Structures are given as C-alpha cells and as structure tokens.
Amino acid sequence: MKIDRLFTDRRGGVSSSPYESLNLALHTGDDPASVARNRNILQKRVGLPIRFMQQVHGDNIAIVDESSPETLPDCDAIVTNRPGIALAVMVADCIPMLLFDKKKGVAAAVHAGRNGTFLNIGAKCVKTMVERFGCRSGDIYAEMGPSIRACCYEISEEMARLVRKSFGESYMNGRYLDLQSLNRDRLLEAGLREDRIDISDICTCCSTDHFSYRREGTTGRFAGAIWIENR
C-alpha cells in the first residue's frame, strides 16, 4: 500500500511575526483566521482532509476514521488504517514521529516531546498498531522529522540525572539531551529494525527555516503529516 508523508517548515504561509509564516497551531496566540488559511494551504498540498491533535504531552493514543473530528482531543498519537485521511502532528522542537506499515496499510502520527518520550509514546503506538491492526513490528517504519537535537537541547541538572538513572549515560552529553537516540532505542526495543528508523539531521533550534520554542518562545508550529493513498 502506498503511504505518503511530508514535513512542513515555517515557509509558505500567511501568518505574521512571530508566527511567520506557515503556523498550523491554534493555541499559539496567532490569528485563528491565519491558522485556518495555513491549514488550507497544507490540505491543498496533501490533497486530503487532515486530522490534528490537541496535544497534551501525555501518552493517549486515538484511532482515527472518517467520523473523527478535525481535532482529536487530549491525545499525543493518532493511528488509522483508512486510506484518504491525513494525520498530522504539530511541533516546535518536539519530535514529529511518523510510523507506518506498508504491508498492512496502517499509519500513525506521534508527538514525541520530552515527556511523551519518557512515557514511551513511540513504542506504545507501535503496540497499538500491532494489537489493533495486526501489524508486525518488524514491518513498521519510523521517520522522525526536524526536532531539537543534542547541540541545543540543554536540560536542568535534575532532569539530566533522571535521564541518566532511568535510561543510561549515553543519552546525555553534560546537560545536553539526545532525544532522538532515546526514541530510536525505545523503537528498537519495540521490535523495529534499525534500518527502518530514519532520523532527520535538522535541529529546529539551529534551523531558521523551522519554528523553535527553545529559540523563540512565542512562535508557531510546523507539522509532520502522513496518509494512506486512496486507491
């Protein structure tokens, strides 16, 4: 089955500073009319209706079908086996993670920030794909889009200690956290193959083409989107 995906950046939208320009999130303080126009721009690019999440840095996972609302409340991962519906995750430093199984035709969008990562949201979403849709974890591909990387992701000493204790030394360089490796290793534990996990080398905090909460504070959100092609 053909499964397509894309990651937006901050270009090509209508919002003005500090949301310039393709801000897709309503909760940021941007003009809702601009966000609606930006979402329209994304929908035209995708060519399908898009489902978003009201993301809460938790580990709730929702199943999406044709009857789902445009915004799924209170969740950080959405999964579907329905062709013709795009799933989106919105971020500005957190990892936009897309999971897909081409054999079974199942797609998922996951919001993997620090908290979601600590809650193991990626592996939990893999488990949902296996249990609800009969996927084999070895068939699942993962793609992590632009996100804040260890060059910029300084965390508190207390948090750094917690990461070392809970997950191991290798994810910390001083007080700089390697969130991508932490997620990759949880996905490997969940049964994904290493050669099926792709990690963007773009750091959102270094890249001026992306929104970065760490760099900018008040800013917009870009998105990862995934969909199963209509046949």
Binding residues for Zn ion, rule: CB under 5 A, are: 151-152, 203, 205-206
Q: Which two tokens stand for residue 144?
A: 């992590």
Q: Least distance to Zn ion from the beta carbon of 146, Å?
A: 10
Q: Which two tokens stand for residue 223?
A: 């998105």
Q: Least distance to Zn ion from the beta carbon of 217, Å?
A: 16
Q: Least distance to Zn ion from the beta carbon of 205, Å?
A: 4
Q: How many CB atoms lie within 10 A of CB 164?
A: 13
Distances (CA, A) of 23 to 56, 59, 112, 200, 202: 18, 24, 19, 20, 18
Q: Least distance to Zn ion from the beta carbon of 26, Å?
A: 27
Q: Least distance to Zn ion from the beta carbon of 207, Å?
A: 8
Listed in sequence order, the residues at least 6 apart from 162 whose beta carbon sits closer than 8 Å to its beta carbon are: none
For residue 224, give the DSSP letter: E
* Residue with smaller CB distance to Zn ion, 52 or 222: 222
CB 72 within 8 A of CB 58: no
Which SS3 state, helix, strand or coil, does residue 17 take? Answer: coil
Q: How many CB atoms lie within 10 A of CB 142?
A: 24
Q: Least distance to Zn ion from the beta carbon of 204, Å?
A: 8
Number of helices (H), then strands (E), belonging to the chain: the values are: 6, 13
Report residue 127 CA to chain centroid gap. Answer: 17
* Residue with smaller CB distance to Zn ion, 34 or 219: 219
Q: How many CB atoms lie within 10 A of CB 8?
A: 26
* Residue with smaller CB distance to Zn ion, 89 or 203: 203
* Residue with smaller CB distance to Zn ion, 35 or 177: 177
